[in-house]
């Protein structure tokens, strides 16, 4: 019987803290949303140079006028504070690409190739 009580307390605490953290995750998502286009692609990484990845992303974005006009890009070196925010939106491993539109998160993936395909599909680009 004690274990059921502990389980109920655990769920209650989880619900309370989940509700408290919900606002901050919404604020974080709002910070990540595109400001001047339809989509914004973020690369979150740890301890390292992203010059190869960033070049590939820039080449992709500039490969088509529709993609260029509709997609923003940012890269972020993940500090401990940023990692905590990322966990709140479901990002547990790095590096990770996160694509957002004006409504929120569209897709997350560690693979740029998946993001390229999704952006092309969303923007109806061949």
Q: pLDDT value at position 21?
A: 47
pTM comes to 0.77
For 51, the token pair is 């010059």
Cβ count within 10 A of residue 50:
16
Q: pLDDT value at position 72?
A: 96
Q: pLDDT value at position 54?
A: 87
Query: Would you say 36 and 72 are in contact if contact means Cβ atoms under 8 Å apart?
Result: yes
Rounded-to-10 torsion of CA 99, 101, 105, 110: -10
Q: pLDDT value at position 81?
A: 85
Q: pLDDT value at position 15?
A: 63
Structural domains of the chain, with CATH: 2-123 (3.40.30.10)
Mark the ranges of the chain whose per-residue pLDDT is less than 50.
21
**Helix axis angle, 80-88 to 2-32, nearest 10°:** 110
Q: pLDDT value at position 89?
A: 92
């Amino acid at each position: 019987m004690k274990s059921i009580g502990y389980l109920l307390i655990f769920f209650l605490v989880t619900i309370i803290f989940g509700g408290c953290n919900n606002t901050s995750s919404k604020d974080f998502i709002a910070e990540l949303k595109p400001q001047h286009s339809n989509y914004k692609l973020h690369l979150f990484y740890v301890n390292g140079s992203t010059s190869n990845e960033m070049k590939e992303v820039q080449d992709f974005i500039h490969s088509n006028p529709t993609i260029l006009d509709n997609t923003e890009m940012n890269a972020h070196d993940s500090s401990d504070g940023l990692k905590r925010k990322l966990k709140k939106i479901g990002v547990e491993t790095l590096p990770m690409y996160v694509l957002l539109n004006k409504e929120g998160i569209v897709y997350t993936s560690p693979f740029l190739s998946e993001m390229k395909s999704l952006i092309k599909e969303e923007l109806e680009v061949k």
